[in-house]
C-alpha cells in the first residue's frame, strides 16, 4: 500500500490543527494518514463519546489527551489554540468522517479567529461502515441512484424543507444518523413521505465495534425489532428498496457495453 505521507514525514504544518476522522469504531478502519497524525501528535482532543479510545494507543506516551465529550466549544478551542501557540502538534479527532455532523465549522471558524488554519483528514463514515455490515449497495441500477444522508430533527432543528416526509418522497436510499431514539416517529414520517410498509430497513448499532448489532426488517416491523434489541442510540438506519438487492444489472459490466477500459462484445446479439 502506498501513501503520500511516509510515517516519518511530518504531517503537521506550522499554526495548523489537523482535524481527522478516526473511522466508525474498529481501529483498523482508521486511515493510515490518521494513524500517522495520532503517532505524531503532541496534543489530541478526541470525541470520547464515539471515537474508539483504542486509537489513542498509537500516541506517544507524553501526548496530552483531552476527551471533548465533557468540554464546551470554548474549552476545546482554548486547548487547541494554547497548544498551537506553544508550538505543539495538535490533533482534533472525530468519529467517522468529520464532514458529517462533526460540528467542525464552528471549530474552524473559532480557530481562524485565532489565526490558526486547519487541515482535514477524511475518515470512514458510519454510513459506509453500516452499509458494509449489511453488505448493501446503496445505489442499485433502476431502483435508485441516489443516497440521502440526513437525520430527524432532535435538539438540533432540521429545516422544514428537509423534513423526513419531504425527503422520503424521493424513494431514494436514505441513511439516517442520530435518529434511532425516535424510531416509531421516524417510521411514521417515512410512511407519510411515501415509502410502503414493506420497504426494507437495516439498522446497525455501533457498526464495527465488538458489540455491534444488526437488525434487519421493514418499515412495518422495524420499530418492534429495535425495541426488542434495546437499541436507543449510536445506530445508522438505512432505508430503501436498494437493500433488497433486486435491481437491474449494471451497465458497467454488461457484455455489450463498451467503455474506456473494455471493448463491447460485438458477437453478442443483445
Ligand X SMILES: C[S@@+](CC[C@H](N)C(=O)[O-])C[C@H]1O[C@@H](n2cnc3c(N)ncnc32)[C@H](O)[C@@H]1O
For ligand X, the binding residues (CB under 6 A) are 24-25, 50, 94-97, 100-102, 125-126, 129-130, 177-178, 204, 206-209, 234-236
In Å, how far are 66, 143, 222, 233, 258 from 172, measured between CA atoms? 40, 8, 18, 24, 28
CB of 126 to ligand X, least distance (A): 3
DSSP-assigned beta bridge partners for residue 20: 93, 121
Q: How far apart are CA 29 and CA 47, in angstroms?
A: 17
CB of 62 to ligand X, least distance (A): 28
Q: How far apart are CA 85 and CA 150, in angstroms?
A: 37
Residues 6 or more apart in contact with residue 195 via CB below 8 angstroms: 168, 171, 219, 239, 240
Q: Spell out a b/e string for 90-118, using b for 16 or more CB atoms within 10 Å of the CB, else e.
A: bbbbbbbbbbbbbebeebbebbeeeebeb
CB of 176 to ligand X, least distance (A): 7
**Is the CB of 222 or the CB of 236 nearer to ligand X?**
236
**Is the CB of 48 or the CB of 96 nearer to ligand X?**
96
Give the CA diameter of the chain. 71
CB of 206 to ligand X, least distance (A): 5
**Is the CB of 50 or the CB of 219 nearer to ligand X?**
50
**Is the CB of 100 or the CB of 243 nearer to ligand X?**
100
Q: How far apart are CA 120 and CA 107, in angstroms?
A: 12
CB of 239 to ligand X, least distance (A): 13
Which residue number has the CB closest to ligand X?
A: 96
DSSP-assigned beta bridge partners for residue 46: 67, 93
**Is the CB of 84 or the CB of 177 nearer to ligand X?**
177
CB of 187 to ligand X, least distance (A): 16
User: What phi and psi values does residue 204 have, to the nearest 5 degrees?
Assistant: -120, 115
**Is the CB of 97 or the CB of 241 nearer to ligand X?**
97
Amino acid at each position: 500500500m502506498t501513501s503520500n505521507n511516509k510515517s516519518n514525514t511530518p504531517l503537521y504544518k506550522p499554526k495548523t490543527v489537523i482535524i481527522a476522522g478516526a473511522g466508525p469504531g474498529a481501529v483498523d478502519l482508521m486511515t493510515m494518514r490518521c494513524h500517522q497524525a495520532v503517532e505524531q501528535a503532541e496534543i489530541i482532543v478526541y470525541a470520547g463519546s464515539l471515537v474508539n479510545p483504542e486509537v489513542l494507543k498509537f500516541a506517544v506516551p507524553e501526548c496530552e489527551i483531552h476527551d471533548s465529550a465533557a468540554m464546551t466549544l470554548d474549552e476545546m478551542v482554548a486547548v487547541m489554540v494554547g497548544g498551537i501557540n506553544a508550538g505543539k502538534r495538535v490533533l482534533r479527532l472525530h468519529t467517522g468522517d468529520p464532514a458529517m455532523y462533526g460540528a467542525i465549522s464552528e471549530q474552524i471558524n473559532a480557530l481562524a479567529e485565532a489565526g490558526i488554519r486547519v487541515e482535514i483528514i477524511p475518515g470512514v463514515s458510519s454510513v459506509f461502515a453500516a452499509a458494509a455490515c449489511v453488505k448493501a449497495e446503496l445505489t442499485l441500477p433502476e431502483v435508485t441512484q441516489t443516497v440521502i444522508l440526513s437525520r430527524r430533527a432532535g435538539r438540533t432543528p432540521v429545516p422544514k424543507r428537509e423534513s423526513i416526509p419531504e425527503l422520503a418522497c424521493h424513494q431514494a436510499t436514505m441513511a439516517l444518523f442520530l435518529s434511532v431514539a425516535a424510531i416509531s416517529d421516524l417510521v411514521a414520517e417515512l410512511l407519510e413521505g411515501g415509502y410502503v410498509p414493506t420497504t426494507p430497513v437495516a439498522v446497525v448499532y455501533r457498526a464495527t465495534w465488538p458489540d455491534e448489532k444488526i437488525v434487519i426488517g421493514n418499515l412495518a416491523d422495524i420499530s418492534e425489532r429495535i425495541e426488542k434489541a434495546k437499541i436507543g442510540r449510536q445506530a445508522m438506519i438505512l432505508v430503501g428498496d436498494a437493500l433488497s438487492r433486486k435491481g437491474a444489472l449494471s451497465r458497467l459490466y454488461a457484455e455489450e457495453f463498451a467503455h474506456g477500459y473494455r471493448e463491447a462484445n460485438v458477437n453478442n446479439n443483445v
